[in-house]
Amino acid sequence: MSNTRQGRVCLFFGALVVALRAAVADPVSSAELARCAAVSSPSERLACYDKLAGRSPRESAAASASAAQRPSAALPSAPTGTTSTSAGAAAAATIAPTTASDGAGRFGLPPPPPTVPEPPKIEARVTRVNADRQGNATLILDNGQTWAVQAPDQWLQSGDQVTIRQAALGSYLLTTPARHTYRVHRVQ
């Protein structure tokens, strides 16, 4: 038998063993889950769920003690007259910290949406074109904005009416009256 065929056979039997173990495990009935959900005290409700999961009281106590030592966001209590599912949804929505001052708390999350939506494009007149020795150019517009051009050429001139529009992946494109397009980024 070849190595790839042996690997596939081992993978198949491994998956079969995992599936059979899951099928043999004692299923928890919905009546038992409903009984635990009806318990009003949070610690007693947790103990009920732990009992259904097969955890010992000592394991439950150790897990709750370690959870109490970890810093976490405060979960709001459910308003009077709401169901436990809406309280659970509200609690799940507030797990991630939402403070803007905590930079580490927002790590990996997408940036918050801007409060004022950006216009899809702007039109302005070029008041000055500055070029350095390396060939990089900056454009100063009549509205006070400064934009850096990534690949300038002789077609960029002072006095041109240009259009800057948002492009893919957060980039911007500048279009001249001669229909030349340049990738730009805002400097100031």
Domain ranges of the chain: 3-69, 121-186
Q: Give the pLDDT of residue 97.
A: 46
> Two tokens at 100?
């803007």
Amino acid identity for residue 108 in this structure: G
The string of pLDDT tens digits covering residues 117-154 is 777 888 999 999 888 888 788 889 999 999 988 777 77
Q: Give the pLDDT of residue 22.
A: 61
Contact 52, 28 (CB under 8 A): yes
* CB neighbourhood size of 162 (10 A): 20
The string of pLDDT tens digits covering residues 11-22 is 788 777 777 666
Q: Pick from 152, 144, 151: which is nearest to 124 by CA?
A: 144
Q: Answer yes or no: pTM beyond 0.95.
A: no
10-residue averages of pLDDT along the chain (188 residues):
73 75 67 87 87 73 60 49 48 48 74 76 90 84 89 79 88 88 88
Q: Does domain 121-186 have CATH number 2.60.40?
A: no
- Sequence-distant (6+) residues with CB within 8 A of 37 are 45, 84
Q: Cα separation of 180 and 177, whole Å?
A: 7
